[in-house]
Amino acid sequence: MGSINPPFQQGQLKPPPIRINLEELDRVKCESCQGEHFDIVWIIHKVPAMLSQTGKEALFPVTYFRCIDCYTVTKIINQS
Ligand SMILES: [Zn+2]
């Protein structure tokens, strides 16, 4: 028989753990009041049957971030 291939080693290319000091990072601020604290809110879109993969009307929930101080839903993060 031919030569024996060394066993394929998996998991050898893990990136090194990233060490981040969160205090040094810029924070997203509310466009309206410059607040830095946000709630997650869900907006549930209705997908019409025509556009749904199942052929039936479907619900498509999307998370948004809302400033807890002035209730503005920030558009900074929701760029899609
Ligand atoms: Zn705000």
Domain assignment present for residue 5? The answer is no
How confident is the model over 55-75, as pLDDT tens digits?
A: 999 999 988 899 999 999 987
CB 62 within 8 A of CB 52: no
Q: Is the pTM of this model over 0.75?
A: no
Overall domain count for the chain: 1
CB 77 within 8 A of CB 65: yes
d(CA 61, CA 79): 16
CA of 60 to the centre of ligand 1 (A): 26
Domain assignment present for residue 2? The answer is no
Domain that holds residue 65: 27-75
CA of 78 to the centre of ligand 1 (A): 16
CA of 75 to the centre of ligand 1 (A): 12
CB 58 within 8 A of CB 77: no
How confident is the model over 33-56, as pLDDT tens digits?
A: 999 999 999 989 999 999 998 999
Domain assignment present for residue 58? The answer is yes
Domain assignment present for residue 45? The answer is yes
CA of 72 to the centre of ligand 1 (A): 6
How confident is the model over 17-35, as pLDDT tens digits?
A: 778 888 888 888 998 999 9
Domain assignment present for residue 60? The answer is yes
Kindly report the number of other CB atoms within 10 A of residue 53's CB atom: 7
